[in-house]
Amino acid sequence: MEVIQTNIEGVVIIEPRLFKDDRGYFFESYSERDFNCQVGEIHFVQDNESKSSYGVMRGLHFQRPPFTQSKLVRCVKGAVLDVAVDIRKGSPTYGQHVAVELTEDNHRQFFIPRGFAHGFAVLSPEAIFQYKCDNFYHPEADGGISILDTSLGIDWRIPTDHAILSEKDTKHPLLKDFDSPFSVHEPLY
């Protein structure tokens, strides 16, 4: 696997080594040994999957301490624009984001460490999205910032009038009104 560094420390894009022939392709979608050696020591405990149609936007979500989560995400069908926003108080990249297109064809994965809000927009007619988490989900620890906060400068590549959001995701605060529970001094994973 190749690990591609981004402009925010700890947030990385992973490209697997793909083996293709006339039968199709094969790749290792996850190796704990390689991941721990090249990215960091993470023990994933929960895998999730979602199915969404074009225009669905999910996020920007996080889990509050002590139930924070790192995530390793990928799109196994279709295409999504995936985004991580730094919400660590005191971080030199606070409020900045990294966006990457994840598709069934590029097989890329995106690692989002603790202290980041995460969201995605579906760019294809349908998408199946998978993610590994290093902590179990706790509904009482749910948090979020508005996925439509224009101050974040995210080009979701979906016209706002075509965006499909859950009721919960329409109620998250803007970044300027958000009191982050994360600090730059806390570990990323």
Which residues are known catalytic residues? 61, 131
**47 three-class SS:** strand
Those residues with Cβ within 8 angstroms of residue 66's Cβ, 6 or more apart along the chain or in another chain: none
What 3-state DSSP class applies to 9?
coil
Distance CA 103, CA 128 (A): 10
SS3 state at 168: helix
Q: Tell how far CA 98 is from the center of its chain.
A: 9
Q: Name, in order, each residue with C-beta under 8 angstroms of 136's C-beta and a sequence gap of 6 or more.
A: 45, 46, 67
For 144, half-sphere exposure in the C-beta direction (CA atoms, 13 angstrom radius) is 21
∠ CA 126-142-7 to the nearest 5 degrees?
70
Please state, in angstroms and rounded to a whole number, the distance separating the CA atoms of residues 151 and 100.
19
